[in-house]
Chain A
């Protein structure tokens, strides 16, 4: 299991109800079902991934996160946790999706890459070009990441929209953390895992 999954799994209380947005082949959800006795659903758009998710024995609802249909399918607070890993930056309106996640889930967990990471800043500042790193391995023209933000941007949005940041774990690409990352997350952190909820 990836370290990111482990970081998330550690946050999930046993027997919770979980919605995993952009669940892919559903391995995270499968792990949570097996080891944390959770129940829930995955949502995924990609055809191949939905086949894999069905193969992995999950309840998967094929859905485009850009159709913002969470509130159509689910009532307010119907999940203990809504999880979305590495997908916030690919949707057309991250703020709208966050709003829907917070509506259907009591707690939300999101992970996304930090555009303010020092290597990104360095490439932009000294190379004068859009950053390309292991975490962001795309060219500016073919990237699915259409809404990159920094940790600071995200927290500003949370502040503005009355979203409470319950916890933040800042890690590098191996999902390890360090004192430096804790002291200067927006400069030294590559990926963050945010636990948020409605204020």
Chain B
């Protein structure tokens, strides 16, 4: 069952300037967010969900446009993250293009859209802005932070930067930093966007245009890295659109058609901002919490107080189980409370959004533990 009434986004207007890691300052900014469920009397049942690269604040339920939230399969009444029990918050990252301050919003200093002038954002900046939202919501401590992929990285950053502000950290299909291969894929995606003649050095909105083909190409590449070879093999194989080979460069194989469709859907129907794509992939590249601690992830996590659940998927080659092992190892070095599950799935990186009995079993039972902790705290109080 989904949340029945259309969910309504809210806006938080930050009153204090945000000093960014890049050196720039955002004097004023907005975060758009949605909430689901009820905050309890002592505000101990709040969960912050951090979104992945192309996600936004609409994580569950159906919005006014009839769109279902990106993680609706796991968040809602009676679901893994049960909104009958938890108060779920999901905010749209800074630099995004769905309402939070980003390249498509007006720069108050110039009165024009930020476009290419929007400063470089890092994961630490996101977490700092989300912490302002926490203060605004008057939540002393999140019961849990939950995120997959880039969302999982934000969860890790939270546990390091604000150790007293969360009790549980659920890190799904993530990595402690990007590999050279990951960065290389991001760079090709960025080059695809920047090489589009409609890009105009990021000032495409002023030129009343959009680098659609570059964005579609970037998304095709990204999408390809989210899937597994096995999954593509079983879904498409070498199936042709027509009965026989045409010996030309039109779309001949079904997998080509599928990828083009995904790219075009992203660039046109979803209307995702090209500058946002550049910013988000750059933030991913920069993410390396261990760098501030002598490149020692164990040291980076030494101050973390949260209890962790780490989850990986066997066919995820973008952030393979091996990358999750690194996180688990660093937590074990600190004698942290951590559980780790390696889920068998053929769906690649995307598996964290899809139904899977083992995944749901682990995740739901872990969320029950989060709930038990809230109840124990209530009894103690």
Contact = CB atoms under 8 A, between A and B. Distances in A.
B197 to A, nearest CB: 49
Contact of A51 (B325, B335, B337, B358): B358
Contact of B365 (A39, A41, A54, A75): A54
A61 B365 contact: no
Contacts of A51: 358, 361-362, 365
B328 interface: yes
B365 A72 contact: no
Interface string A62-82: 110000010011110000000
Contact of B329 (A41, A47, A57, A72): A72
Interface string B342-365: 111000000000000010011001
Contacts of A59: 337-339
Counting chain B CB atoms within 10 Å of each CB, the highest count among A51, A53, A72 belongs to A51
Interface residues of B, number: 23
Contacts of B309: 54
B338 A61 contact: yes
A72 B325 contact: yes
A58 B339 contact: yes
Contacts of A39: 335
B358 A74 contact: no
A60 B342 CA distance: 11
B341 interface: yes
A61 B339 contact: yes
Nearest to B363: A54
B37 to A, nearest CB: 23
A27 B344 CA distance: 24
Interface in B287-317: 309
A63 to B, nearest CB: 8
Contacts of A54: 309, 339, 341, 361-362, 365-366, 369
B141 interface: no
Contacts of A47: 341, 343-344, 358, 361
B325 A57 contact: no
Contacts, number: 53
B368 interface: yes
B25 interface: no
B341 A50 contact: yes
A17 to B, nearest CB: 8
B340 interface: yes
A60 B339 contact: yes
Contacts of A75: 333
B342 A62 contact: yes
A60 B311 CA distance: 12
A122 B186 CA distance: 67
A74 B343 CA distance: 22
A74 B325 CA distance: 12
Counting chain B CB atoms within 10 Å of each CB, the highest count among A53, A54, A57, A60 belongs to A54
Counting chain B CB atoms within 10 Å of each CB, the highest count among A39, A47, A48, A63 belongs to A47
B332 interface: yes
A55 B343 CA distance: 17
A55 B338 contact: no
A59 B362 CA distance: 12
Contact of B328 (A48, A57, A61): A61
A88 to B, nearest CB: 23
A62 B342 CA distance: 6
Nearest to B369: A57
A50 B362 CA distance: 7
B340 A61 contact: yes
Nearest to B343: A47
Contacts of B341: 47, 50, 54, 62
Contacts of B344: 47
A65 to B, nearest CB: 14
Contacts of A72: 325, 329
Nearest to B308: A59
A62 B311 CA distance: 10
Contacts of B366: 54
Contacts of B368: 55
Interface string A35-55: 000010100000110110111
Counting chain A CB atoms within 10 Å of each CB, the highest count among B335, B341, B366, B372 belongs to B341
8 contacts: A39-B335, A48-B358, A51-B361, A58-B339, A60-B339, A61-B332, A61-B340, A72-B329
Interface of A: 39, 41, 47-48, 50-51, 53-55, 57-63, 69, 72-75
Q: Which A-B residue pairs are the 8 nearest by beta carbons?
A: A51-B361, A47-B358, A55-B365, A54-B365, A61-B340, A62-B342, A62-B341, A60-B339
